[in-house]
Amino acid sequence: MSLMRRPSPFGELMSLRQAMDRLFEDSFVRPGEFTMIAGETRAPLDVRLTADEVFVRAALPGIKPEDASITIENGTLTISAQTEAEREEQEGTWLLREIRRGAFSRAISLPAGLQPDRATAHFEDGVLTVRIPRAEEVKPKEIKITPTSAGQGGPVRAGEGER
C-alpha cells in the first residue's frame, strides 16, 4: 500500500515574521531611489576605495551645482543641497507626489589616511563625483621578490638540509 501525501493549504502562506520583514524592506530599503528616513531625504551614493583614492558618486537629479555643498571634517564627508520650494497650486488634488523639494544632507564616514585638502569635485547631468586621494604612506606597497641563485642561501626544499 502506498501513502499519498496531500499538500497543506497553509504551506504556501508566509510566516508573520517573513511578512513583517518584507513589509519593512519594501517600505524603507529601495536601492537606487531617494528614501525618506525620519523626515530626511537621502540621495543614493556609490562609494569605492581604490589604491589611490576614495571615489564617491551621488545622484542629485534636479540640483544645480551652485545649490550643492561638500564638506570634509573629522573624517566625515557631508554632501548637502537646497532646492527651491515649488509654488503651491491651489486647485486640484495631488494623486502622487514623490519629487523631493527643500534641503537634504547626506554624511558618510571616510577611512583614515586621506588628503581632504587635495579633494576634487565634478558635477555633470545631476551626478556629483568627489575624488579624495589617499596619502602616500597608506597606499598599498608592492614588495618585489628577488630570486636567489642555488648555493647562496636560497630556500631549503623539503627533504634537503643538514645531514
Name the residue type at position 154.
G
* Residue pair 53/131 in contact by the 8 Å Cβ criterion: yes
Cα distances from 156 to residues 143, 150, 152, 153, 159, in angstroms, run 21, 10, 11, 8, 8
What is 30-85+99-126's CATH number? 2.60.40.790
User: What dihedral angle (degrees, nearest 10) is formed by the CA atoms of 45, 135, 141, 129?
Assistant: 20
Rounded CA-CA distance 78/40 in Å is: 14
Rounded CA-CA distance 79/129 in Å is: 11
Answer whether residue 113 shows pLDDT above 80: yes
Q: What is the pLDDT at residue 38?
A: 43
- pLDDT, tens only, 1-47: 566 666 665 555 656 667 767 666 654 444 444 444 444 556 789 99
Lowest mean pLDDT among 10-14, 42-46, 81-85, 128-132: 10-14
Rounded CA-CA distance 127/65 in Å is: 10
Answer whether residue 99 shows pLDDT above 70: yes
* pLDDT tier, 103 (very low <50, low <70, confident <90, very high otherwise): confident
Q: Select the more confidently predicted residue: 124 or 25.
A: 124
Q: What is the mean pLDDT of residues 139-149?
A: 83
Instruction: Report the range out of 10-14, 83-87, 131-135, 158-162 with the highest average pLDDT.
Output: 131-135
Q: What is the pLDDT at residue 36?
A: 42
Task: Return phi, psi of residue 133, to 5°.
Answer: -70, 150
Q: What is the pLDDT at residue 1?
A: 59
Q: What is the mean pLDDT of residues 85-108?
A: 77
78-96 in b/e burial notation, b at 16+ Cβ within 10 A?
ebebebeeeeeeeeeeeee
Q: Counting beta carbons within 10 angstroms of the beta carbon of residue 4, is it exposed (0 to 12), middle (13 to 18) or buried (19 or more)?
A: exposed
